[in-house]
Amino acid sequence: MLATRDPILGFLPANLVLLLAIVVAVGLFARSAYHLYRLVRLGRPEQRTDHPAERWDAFLRHVLGQGRLLREPAAGLMHALIFWGFLVITVSTAEMLLGGLIPGLTFGPLTANPVYVLLLDLFEVLVLASVLFAFYRRLVVKPSRLSYTGDALLILGLIATLMLTALLANGLRIAYASEPLDPWAPASAALAGALGDLPAPTQLALHKLFWWAHVLTVLGFLAYLPHSKHLHIVTAPFNVWLRSLAPRGQLPYLDVEAALEQDQPLGASQIDHFTWKGLLDTYTCTECGRCQAACPASISGKPLSPKKLILDLKEHLLEEGPARLHGDGEAHPGKQMVGEVITDEVLWDCTTCRACMHECPVFIEHVPKIVDMRRHLVMAESRFEPEVQRLFDNLEASGNPWRLPRMVRGDWAKGLGIPTMAESPEIEYLYWVGCAGSHDERNMKVARAFARLMQQAGVKFAILATEETCTGDPARRAGHEYLFQTLAQQNVETLNRYGVKKVVTACPHCFNSLKNEYPQLGGTYEVIHHSQFLRELVEAGKLAPSKALEGAVAYHDPCYLGRYNEVYDQPRGVLEGIPGLELREVPGCHRDRAMCCGGGGARVFMEEQRGRRINHLRIEQAMAAQPRTIATACPFCIIMLEDGARAKGVYDDVPVADIAELLVRSCDKKS
Ligand code: HEM
Ligand code: SF4
Ligand code: SF4
């Protein structure tokens, strides 16, 4: 290799100098990487290698294909070009290092192949252009979601240096050796042409300079990586491959009694209470802020930023981890993770809407961490606002969040001729009404509308009435795993006693718990959301919406129906099937990117003390579609949106309705 042909300073064998530089850089990298690996091993065990086919599929789509990054076209393409460029260029870099160590060693047919030569040349220019764009984005455009650190600029500078030095070293080598200009390497050929007039000794000296600058930058980059957010280059592919394959709406099961018996933590109060994958997440954060830009708590000015939460946990792991590795974590207590590093306010601000996890290009799992820390607050510390206490007390005392008597749970159905399971145990469908449909005046109307539609369609269904109790969803999301399991077990016993197979419900929270979480407790059913059911009934001709309703309707996607369970088309289908209605999307925030109403994660039962109100913001977003009605398919969204509409003064002109209420008006000849 030309650059390492002659000794340095006339006596130092160049390949020995190179070897020394490689040993130092790889050694520094390996030492830091091993330290980080040991810190990750502090986490609790977790199985994440099942279903390899599904994992490789995600790897292909989201690592090699850069799928989630490309959701944002400009930033995504910028990154994809850098990433794909590195895949191509790394082969040539490895060849450079090997050839520098052992003269004459090359990868032969691979790197001599004209297609590879062209790709290498092209990507060196494209990576350089992408890095210039990244500089422009950071220094001029300045999107608010990014973190503005010296680290980010340093890495961009290093990558630009890598590309420039590679191109210049190559161009000067071609010029010096008077090689024929390769049409497959247009950029290097153009540089060689431009530098061809320099005296040969200068060409050689500059070639050596850029070659060494390139090689030393690569090695410096390697040694620096573990100390930078660019550690993601190494961890992101693993993090994507190791992502959770559990149903999206299923929180991890915690055996509370076993934990108490064995003196195990209830939730997470220390960094090593997370699993090893939870800790790997923290290393992988690229600080892109996509989670924060989608988070309703951050958007409404609350202290919670999902990005900051992950970065704070990383910093805490790096600070506290070493003491725990040496077993003296308890003896030298540093900052409290829950309360100091992550404040109680931050934890309670989360609506568990999953927007953060849906946006994160490297599949970081924020919600389970937040709920794990809430579990500690609730079950170990009993530290929460009085309204959360009230929620738990009410659920325990009467099986609903409002402490209404259990005996009135079926009263909404009085006079409608709906049998109970006790009366008709053989019936095909169980209509799971949920607490809101059973007890909240506004949502009782939805329950009646849906029941009426099922009756019109000739569906044979029954309700549990007084035998139904809250699914436990708000308790689980608020961190009271024990209460969730108590309520859920009670329901599973009831459902299994009746041999229930098919459950239909109008509440996405009940739908999600029954479908995705009850199997953890031995309850497995076919669970159908009313939007799916109604759409099927209309398609099958069992319901015939014929009366025209007027005006534009904006549909609000409930998080637990949309992002958690991917039910987007059916509620829209129901609305589109109603003559006269014009379905409009909430501009920029619909389907998987819809913003939460503010009510998820038990927040509907809590005061919103910080920042702007999320439901007010959501109404403002919906009003941008200029609707006559705002439709949704979730009782808690109805409560939150109606409250928001009242506050924004649009309640009388733009009513909020469930899709069943609109459909029944179109189907019902009498109304
Ligand atoms: C050789 C591999 C890689 C290189 C050289 C690389 C390089 C970079 C650079 C330079 C940035 C900063 C861009 C800026 O200033 O905003 C960045 C950001 C980022 N990287 Fe990578 N990366 C690599 C691999 C990956 C992989 C495999 C993933 C995910 C699967 C990933 C995900 C991200 C994300 C999400 C960002 C933030 C982008 C944004 O602001 O929207 N990177 N990466
Ligand atoms: S789940 Fe929603 S509210 Fe909670 S951190 Fe993520 S985006 Fe924010
Ligand atoms: S958690 Fe994910 S989305 Fe959020 S800043 Fe980190 S990498 Fe980006």
What tokens does 555 get?
């549909």
Q: Domain of 178?
A: 2-241
81 lines ligand 1 (CB under 6 A): no
pTM value is 0.95
CATH number at residue 213: 1.20.950
Whole-angstrom CA distances from 46 to 243, 263, 365 are 12, 19, 14
Residues 543, 529 within the same domain = no
Ligand 3 centroid, distance to 590 Cα (angstroms): 21
**What is the side-by-side strand order in the sheet with 461-462?**
461-462, 429-432, 502-505, 526-529
Residue 274 lies in a domain: yes
Residues 17, 64 within the same domain = yes
Do the Cβ atoms of 326 and 316 come closer than 8 Å?
A: no
Residue whose CB lies within 8 A of the most ligand 2 atoms, among 309, 311, 366, 559, for a mutation test: 366
Residue 248 lies in a domain: no
Of all protein residues, the one whose alpha carbon is nearest to atom 7 of ligand 2 is: 295
- Rounded distance, CA 277 to CA 67, Å? 21
Residues 302-347 have pLDDT tens digits of 999 999 999 999 999 999 999 998 877 665 668 999 999 999 999 9
Closest by Cα among 606, 202, 558 to 388:
606
pLDDT band at 229 (very low <50, low <70, confident <90, very high): confident
Q: Average pLDDT in the 631-653 region?
A: 97
Residues 20, 141 within the same domain = yes
Of all protein residues, the one whose alpha carbon is nearest to atom 43 of ligand 1 is: 79
pLDDT band at 80 (very low <50, low <70, confident <90, very high): very high
Instruction: Name the least confident of 115-124, 182-191, 409-418, 575-584.
Output: 182-191
Ligand 3 centroid, distance to 289 Cα (angstroms): 5
Residue 246 lies in a domain: no
Q: CA 625, 628, 632, 636 torsion: positive or negative? A: positive
Closest by Cα among 605, 342, 307 to 480:
605
Residues 140, 79 within the same domain = yes
Ligand 2 centroid, distance to 594 Cα (angstroms): 12
Alpha helices in 457-595 (DSSP H): 473-477, 481-497, 508-512, 530-539, 569-576
Residues 46, 186 within the same domain = yes
Ligand 2 centroid, distance to 395 Cα (angstroms): 24
Which ligand ends up closest to the CA of 359? 3
Ligand 2 centroid, distance to 515 Cα (angstroms): 22
Give the model's pLDDT for residue 6.
80
Give the model's pLDDT for residue 71.
97
Ligand 2 centroid, distance to 496 Cα (angstroms): 34
Whether the predicted pLDDT of 285 surpasses 90 = yes
Residues 272, 144 within the same domain = no
Pairing of strands 461-462, 526-529: unpaired
Residue 389 lies in a domain: no
- Residue 25, SS3 per DSSP: helix
Residues 57, 177 within the same domain = yes
Of all protein residues, the one whose alpha carbon is nearest to atom 3 of ligand 3 is: 360
By residue count, the chain amounts to 671
Give the model's pLDDT for residue 667.
95
Closest by Cα among 125, 258, 252, 248 to 185:
125
110 CB-contact burial (10 Å; exposed 0-12 / middle 13-18 / buried 19+): exposed
Quote helix, strand, coil % in the chain, to nearest 5: 60, 5, 35
- Rounded distance, CA 519 to CA 513, Å? 9
Domain total of the chain: 4
Using the structure block, give the residue that is written with the tokens 């040694």.
223
Neighbours of 330 (CB within 10 A): 9
The last residue of one of the domains, among 475, 507, 538, is 538
Residues 58, 206 within the same domain = yes
Instruction: Give 582's strand partners.
Output: 552
CA atoms within 13 A on the CB side of 346: 23
Residue whose CB lies within 8 A of the most ligand 3 atoms, among 231, 243, 286, 311, for a mutation test: 286
Residues 106-129 have pLDDT tens digits of 998 999 999 999 999 999 999 999
Residues within a 6 A CB radius of ligand 3:
285-291, 306-307, 310, 359-360, 362, 364
Residues 119, 50 within the same domain = yes
In the 8-state DSSP scheme, what is residue 548? -
Do the Cβ atoms of 669 and 590 come closer than 8 Å?
A: no
3-state secondary structure 163-177: HHHHHHHHHHHHHHC
Residues 199-216 have pLDDT tens digits of 999 999 999 999 999 999
Whether the predicted pLDDT of 236 surpasses 80 = yes
Do the Cβ atoms of 40 and 280 come closer than 8 Å?
A: yes
Give the model's pLDDT for residue 669.
64
Whether the predicted pLDDT of 671 surpasses 50 = no
Q: Average pLDDT in the 28-37 region?
A: 97
- Rounded distance, CA 152 to CA 286, Å? 10
Residue whose CB lies within 8 A of the most ligand 3 atoms, among 285, 295, 358, 359, for a mutation test: 285
- Concatenating the DSSP letter of every residue in 60-129 gives IIIIIS-TTGGGSHHHHHHHHHHHHHHHHHHHHHHHHHHHHHSTT---THHHHSHHHHHHHHHHHHHHHH
360 lines ligand 1 (CB under 6 A): no
